[in-house]
Amino acid sequence: MSEVRLKACDSYDQPLVSRVVREVLSGMPALADGLKAGARVLLKPNMINARPAQTAICTHPTVVRAVAEVCCEAGCSVVIGDEPGYALVSDATQLFAGAGIAQACEDLDVEFALLKHGGYRSVPVPHPLRIPEVLIANTALDADLVINLPKCKTHQQTLLTGAIKNMFGAVAPRERIRIHMLGTFNAFGEAIADTFSACVPQVNLMDAVVGMEGKGPSRGEPKQIGAILASEDAVALDAVAQDMTGHGPDEVRVTTAAAEKGLGECRLDHIEIAGDNPADFRVALKRPPGGVRRGFPRLVGRLLEGMVWVRPQVDPELCIRCGACAGICPGEAIEIGGHAVINRDKCIECFCCQEVCPVDAIDTISSWLARKIIGGSPQGIGRTER
Ligand code: SF4
Ligand code: SF4
């Protein structure tokens, strides 16, 4: 039986967040073992880019600070690190200051790190579903304790992003691009479970105070959920979070694949909840429009490809020609001229470009039939076909 701890937290008031974080972490065996003077601890928040707290894109600064406080008090050597897929910042302080985390932690003895600066090494994947080995950040592999700090958000490619997907940030960026090329919803989810199995964090704490719905993980709208969850079992944590946010038990392939690999428990009746009742925080997050054909049998999906589609579209007025979208695009589908231009024949609809665009110049457009299928509001499904 896995345990997930859950406590109400209805705002990002620092004293409240700090109290709730201590409650959900209190007495957790992995922390009792790992939080020792001198221990190297990596805190791994979700840092898509240097985006401010109110966008709900990154793990909230107060949550990161609350966990860092606990580690610093134990005398640990604390690194707060991540590696955005395509960082538009040159150093870690710029990234974490842009998200407000550096300021929230300024009086704490912590170091900020871009994981690429510590290098990567190849790790064999246990019981691989899609990939036999993966390049993982040395900073994560060499830490005595990894505390994973995901944000509860919808995701255009995986439906929901939580604890398992958040560790994808420890994978070398070029490798992430290669994995995106696997294309389908199931293959991508299984590959993420593979990468997770090469670097499993000891503790996971999810910021679900304000989550994100719709076009996540970076273009959706903030959504109040009002809880903080923690578990040593990332799979159980994600299973509870996806149930709370209106997803069926088999809907998120990342979670079921990780459970199949023996990385944790996804059956809700095999998960013990400590603390508050998840039913009190239930909120049906608006679905991301990306991957609208994900539920279709493969042949049906292919047949309907021309009629059911959701694609990225650049707004030339907003584009600042920074090149981030072209730099991350797995399909090499973007050229930067007077503005970014997407070659539809090469686009695999992964929405990585949307994720990294610093000025939200890439929106989601959809076909008439896709909108009918998702049944979403214009906000949820993206703009109408032009
Ligand atoms: S254009 Fe955007 S959605 Fe299409 S393949 Fe490139 S990054 Fe992915
Ligand atoms: S679309 Fe966004 S990411 Fe791409 S070049 Fe323009 S501003 Fe940069």
Burial string for 44-77 (b: 16+ CB within 10 Å, else e) reads bbbbbbbbebebbbbbbbbbbbbbbbbbbebebb
Which residue among 51, 219, 317, 321 has the greatest number of ligand 2 atoms within 8 angstroms of its CB, and so is best to mutate?
321
How much of the chain exceeds pLDDT 90, in percent? 82
Q: Which domain holds residue 176?
A: 2-281
Q: Determine whether the shortest distance from the Cβ of 322 to ligand 2 is under 6 A.
A: yes
Least confidently predicted of 15-24, 294-303, 349-358: 294-303
Q: Determine whether the shortest distance from the Cβ of 341 to ligand 1 is under 6 A.
A: no
Tens-place pLDDT, residues 25-70: 999 999 999 999 999 999 999 999 899 999 999 999 999 999 999 9
pLDDT of residue 349: 87
Task: Give the total number of structural domains in the chain.
Answer: 2
Q: Determine whether the shortest distance from the Cβ of 329 to ligand 2 is under 6 A.
A: no
- Pair of tokens at residue 327: 């730099």
Distance, in Å, from the CA atom of 142 to the CA atom of 144, rounded to the nearest integer, reads 7
Q: What is the mean pLDDT of residues 119-134?
A: 98
Query: 310 and 254 in one domain?
Result: no
* Contact indicator for 313, 381 with CB cutoff of 8 Å: no
Query: 331 and 204 in one domain?
Result: no
Residue found by looking up tokens 């505390």 in the block: 147
Q: What's this model's pTM, rounded to 2 decimal places?
A: 0.93
The length of the chain in residues reads 386
Atom of ligand 1 minimally distant from the CA of 348:
5
Q: Determine whether the shortest distance from the Cβ of 227 to ligand 1 is under 6 A.
A: no
- Closest-CA residue, ligand 2 atom 8, reads 322
The CATH number assigned to the domain holding 353 equals 3.30.70.20
274 inside domain:
yes
Query: 111 and 217 in one domain?
Result: yes
How much of the chain exceeds pLDDT 70, in percent? 95
Per-residue pLDDT for 301 more than 90?
A: no
- DSSP-derived letter for residue 263 is S
Rounded to 5°, angle at Cα 39 from 192 and 147: 30
Q: Determine whether the shortest distance from the Cβ of 131 to ligand 2 is under 6 A.
A: no
Phi, psi of 183 (to 5 degrees): 85, -65
Residue that is last in its domain, among 281, 308, 339: 281
Q: Give the Å distance between the CA of 8 and the centre of ligand 1.
A: 38
- DSSP-derived letter for residue 145 is E
